[in-house]
A and B are shown apart, each in its own frame.
Chain A
Amino acid sequence: MSASLPRPPRLKELARHEEAQPRFLGGHSLCAGCGIPTVVRTVLNAIEGPVVVVNATGCLEVATSRYPTTAWNVPWLHAAFENAAATMSGIEAADRVLRRRSPDRARAPRTTFVVFGGDGGTYDIGLQSLSGALERGHRLLYVCYDNEAYMNTGIQRSSATPFGASTTTTPAGAQALGKIQQRKDLTAIVAAHHIPYVAQASISHVQDLARKARTASAVEGPSFLNVLSACPLGWGTPGRDAIASARMAVESRYWPLFEIVGGRYRLSHVPAHPVPVAQWLGMQTRFAHLADRPDLVREIQAAVDRDWQTLVDRVRADAEAAEGSAPAV
């Protein structure tokens, strides 16, 4: 599989880019171990040419723009929680019309319009705005840093929160198992808009994320990255284990890394030795109450296996349709 993928940007190249022209600066107040800066730096360093960023309300916005300081060395706008995609629609539309109307703007290099939103701002309150922007076909790259709950307001459940997770609004207790609903499959919902490029990525696989960001930034039309981002505070892991916990999500097949290019699914990473999802759950105190519920852990494993199989079947079908042969998965 991986042989057919475009080569990822080299880490040295990303580092050089950051050194020459840092786009996201230090001094922000995101937590130790937070996955979000990894998402932002990797995505922005992978994009060639100028960028404009719109940020939905959330951890990233609050922690990087406290007046009179800023962590942003690129044009950056925050408007509200639910309207990041719509706000960027207007910026992108302005770029399009000004390139027609103003000779100066027409000569400006191609700009990438990057939206960052958390899962609350993307799966929940911003879904309508996102869907509208995707349907209209604006050339924007929407990056969801998905840490699976409303972390900024203090770890409340979102529709991205997985089954069984204890949050402050779905606390586990003597009579409660944490969140009792399955997480929303946002990546599939976005894919249903038939946009040119959709991918899932993780902070544990930065080269893969960088490649996806670069690929996404080059397409004409909307593109979307759903990036799993660990939240040590909300997940209940030590900060030093943030990357490891995200990696375990991938290696357990809970969070598959794949991309949908022109409607065709392909896997970008196949765990060689998939680990039981219990190992991922076991790293995080938000699932601690499941320790004495092996029946529920088996249910979670069954759901992971089923979703993985569905994904693999789709990948195989798309590959067969494209090449007339099955890939080696």
Chain B
Amino acid sequence: MVVMAGDRASSLPGVRATRAGARGMRLLTGAQAAAEAMRQIDPDVVPIYPITPQTPIIETFAAMQAAGRVSGELVNVESEHSAMSAALGAALAGGRAMTATASQGLAYMVEVIYIAAALRAPVVMAVGNRALSAPINIHGDHSDAMLARDAGAISLFAENAQEAYDLMLCAPRLAEHPDVMLPVMVGQDGFTITHSAEPVSLLPDETARRFVGPYRVPTPLLDTARPTTQGTFAMPDAYFEFRLEIEAAQRRALGAWRQIAAQYRALSGRRLGALEAYRLGGAERVLIAMGSVAGTAKDVVDALRARGEPVGLVKVRSFRPFPGRRLAALLGQGRRVGVLDRALSPGGSAPLLAEIAAATGGRVALDSFVGGLGGRDITPDHIAGAFARLGRPHRVGRGATYLGLQREVRV
């Protein structure tokens, strides 16, 4: 659960007490937490370009650079397209590259994300997830990440500032894992996480650095003694397999992630699995969500459980690769399952719903909920309402339920 900076926790319904004073924790926004991970990683090249709500990540990192706390090359590029391009070049040259983006900037990068995935450039991108235009809107939803869904990059979602830090620190390990070698996007919801201060526990710098380790690519472009041709032209006889290699790497990434998450847990005590099951034991009604809303949903689950209602939550941390088999196993059969998306796929199924439908293959009754577009609040009441809906008879073919609409839109 996150607390907007400046708000008093007690004024928000359902907010659990935070542990701001706990030993070893620092009060950081998600953006600052991501920047702290970047500081500990100290990448070789960080091409940056401002866009709300990601900007505090690069500002914080630039200040760290100015203070001499990191020593890589900060490249202030003229667009996100160039940011991703420079990151791609640096990563293939032999330098660890990270960047940050959001919304329109991520949209602008998408062309190069596809290329980076295929050229197996392990670029790590911090994403402050934000709505896409139009209308222009600077607030949080998952539309931007979904636009990049099929690029081949790994796509992770943090629930809070702590996870934004944890995932950023683990991201290079996953990106650069020899079985993987793909770009990684670490999403944190715009404003709800990027601009909200929470107590965050950091690993000691040296521990973090040892955990991340050195950067290696098999054929760096700077190795002029062993020239390689990268980014070739492929005809129909060759293209298909190159794209399929990305699919194979994504599948392997689930295994790599288990390894890395286990190592990270040993260091930090925190679990970072591709999925998080919350009070699933005995749960007849289950909600599935990604990002900050999972925090709100946990509170609602606790409140409903206290009243004896058999509800639970599954939080999806890794959207790409999607842990479909594991999810299907977690859900089993016969449960009522609601899927809460923060993005639309107009004319089709919302993206998370589509994944879960494919993974469960009709073994669970699914209801679609869509909310939080353009930063619209998803309140505990909305989530309690979703659980109530799951308690009523399921109707196949019912469209999505839209949470918190301010005016009627006939769909």
Residues of A that sit less than 8 Å from B by CB: 50-52, 54, 61-62, 65-68, 70, 72-80, 82-83, 86-91, 93-98, 100-101, 105, 108, 111, 128-129, 131-133, 135-136
Contact = CB atoms under 8 A, between A and B. Distances in A.
Contact of B224 (A52, A65, A88): A52
Contact of B222 (A73, A80, A91, A132): A91
A135 B45 CA distance: 18
A79 B112 contact: yes
B95 A79 contact: no
Given A68-B238, A98-B222, A93 B232 contact: no
A75 B221 contact: yes
A80 B94 contact: no
The interface residues of chain B, by DSSP majority, are classed as mixed
A97 B88 contact: no
Interface string B50-81: 00000000000000000000011101111101
A80 B232 contact: no
Given A66-B232, A87-B85, A100-B71, A136 B77 contact: yes
A77 B227 CA distance: 10
B221 A80 contact: no
B75 A89 contact: yes
Contact of A74 (B79, B95, B227): B227
B119 interface: yes
A65 B232 CA distance: 5
Given A66-B234, A87-B86, A93-B47, 4 more contacts: A66-B232, A76-B227, A94-B89, A105-B222
Given A67-B238, A82-B81, A91-B221, A96 B232 contact: no
Contacts of B81: 82-83, 86, 129
Contacts of B231: 65, 76-79
16 contacts: A65-B231, A65-B232, A67-B235, A68-B232, A68-B238, A77-B221, A77-B230, A79-B115, A80-B85, A87-B86, A89-B86, A91-B92, A93-B86, A93-B90, A132-B79, A136-B75
B90 A94 contact: yes
A87 B77 CA distance: 11
Interface in B199-238: 221-224, 227-235, 238
Interface in B69-120: 71-73, 75-79, 81-83, 85-95, 97, 111-112, 115, 119
Given A89-B47, A94-B45, A135-B78, A67 B93 contact: no
Given A65-B233, A100-B71, A132-B77, A90 B86 contact: yes
A52 B227 CA distance: 9
* Residue among B72, B76, B119 with the highest chain A CB neighbour number at 10 A: B72
B45 A90 contact: yes
A136 B74 CA distance: 11
B352 to A, nearest CB: 30
A79 B75 contact: no
Given A86-B81, A129-B78, A132-B82, A80 B238 contact: no
Given A80-B112, A95-B93, A86 B82 contact: yes
Contacts of A54: 89
Which 7 pairs from chain A and chain B are nearest by CB? A90-B89, A132-B78, A94-B95, A90-B86, A86-B82, A50-B224, A90-B90
A20 B94 CA distance: 27
* Residue among B93, B94, B97, B112 with the highest chain A CB neighbour number at 10 A: B93
Given A79-B119, A86-B82, A94-B94, A101 B44 contact: yes
A34 to B, nearest CB: 16
Given A75-B223, A78-B230, A101-B44, A91 B75 contact: no
B224 A79 contact: no
A90 B221 contact: no
Contacts of B72: 97
B232 A95 contact: no
Given A132-B77, A132-B78, A90 B222 contact: no
Contacts of A96: 73
B88 A93 contact: no
A133 B86 CA distance: 10
B33 to A, nearest CB: 24
B97 A90 contact: yes
Given A66-B232, A131-B78, A72 B222 contact: no
A68 B242 CA distance: 12
A77 B78 contact: no
A129 B93 contact: no
Contact of B115 (A80, A88, A108, A111): A80
B73 A67 contact: no
A75 B89 CA distance: 12
Contacts of A75: 221-224, 227-228, 230
B79 A87 contact: no
A91 B81 CA distance: 15
B229 A98 contact: no
* Residue among B91, B229, B232, B234 with the highest chain A CB neighbour number at 10 A: B229
A90 B87 contact: yes
Contacts of A52: 93, 221-222, 224
Contacts of B95: 90, 93-94, 97-98
A131 B72 CA distance: 23
B88 A94 contact: no
B77 A61 contact: no
